[in-house]
């Protein structure tokens, strides 16, 4: 069966970091959570992937990040995996499939993989085994109401039923919002970008 992946990341942030492109001292986009769904040709969910990741440079989450995502420091300390392991597992989940993001999350995956390698850590899978595609411009062009909206709100601005339990800025919930938007656009006659299936 042919499948593809939609994924989303939550990464370290502080007040003003987005607006300043994480240019403040010590502000790195370290992954804290990865969510992904494997979808089939009918855009039904075949498999879920979710993991917490322990940031290395900024191991203490900012209050801003916790308020935004609902992810608590204790959860990350208890359940978080080392970045190299989490990235390797995620890339294994995606291997050989196109991975779609709503934005340039693939750049953040690459940054985090590079930092892990620079620390001498081994990543079990390669970014080169997964074609990554940012479909935000495609979605925004087909549904202009989505322009300027984050992935976790796509379902709302498209007037769709709540796609899953959870909240916006939780990576797996955001993936369900993403998948709901893709199903909505396809039902309206859109053809998925080439390479998805």
| Confidence at residue 124, expressed as pLDDT on a 0 to 100 scale | 92
Residue 184 resides in a domain = no
38-64 residue pLDDT tens = 999 999 999 999 999 999 999 999 999
| Confidence at residue 129, expressed as pLDDT on a 0 to 100 scale | 87
Residue 78 resides in a domain = yes
Residue 77 resides in a domain = yes
State the Cα–Cα distance between residues 90 and 162, nearest whole angstrom.
26
| Confidence at residue 103, expressed as pLDDT on a 0 to 100 scale | 96
Residue 139 resides in a domain = no
Domain holding 114, by residue range, is: 3-134
127-178 residue pLDDT tens = 888 999 999 999 999 999 999 999 999 999 999 999 999 999 999 999 999 9
Supply the pTM of this predicted model.
0.96
| Confidence at residue 1, expressed as pLDDT on a 0 to 100 scale | 58
pLDDT over 80 (residue 195): no
Residue 88 resides in a domain = yes
Burial (Cβ within 10 Å: 0-12, 13-18, ≥19) of residue 159: exposed
Residue 120 resides in a domain = yes
Indicate which CATH number applies to the domain containing 120.
Answer: 3.30.420.10
- The total number of structural domains in the chain stands at 1
Token match 């993001």: residue?
Answer: 101
Residue 60 resides in a domain = yes
């Amino acid at each position: 069966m042919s499948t593809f992946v939609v994924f989303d990341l939550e990464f370290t942030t502080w007040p003003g970091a987005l607006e300043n492109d994480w240019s403040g001292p010590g502000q790195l986009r370290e992954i804290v959570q990865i969510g992904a769904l494997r979808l089939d040709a009918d855009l039904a969910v075949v498999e879920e992937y979710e993991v917490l990741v322990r940031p290395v440079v900024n191991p203490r989450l900012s209050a801003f990040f916790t308020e935004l995502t609902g992810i608590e420091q204790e959860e990350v300390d208890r359940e978080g995996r080392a970045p190299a392991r989490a990235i390797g597992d995620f890339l294994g989940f995606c291997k050989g499939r196109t991975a779609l993001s709503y934005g340039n999350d693939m750049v953040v995956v690459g940054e985090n993989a590079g930092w892990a390698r620079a620390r001498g850590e081994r990543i079990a899978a390669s970014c080169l085994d997964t074609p990554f595609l940012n479909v935000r411009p495609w979605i925004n062009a087909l549904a202009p109401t989505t322009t300027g909206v984050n992935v976790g709100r796509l379902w709302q601005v498209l007037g769709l039923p709540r796609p899953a339990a959870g909240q916006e800025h939780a990576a797996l919930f955001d993936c369900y919002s993403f998948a709901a938007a893709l199903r909505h656009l396809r039902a309206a006659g859109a053809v998925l970008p080439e390479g998805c299936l």
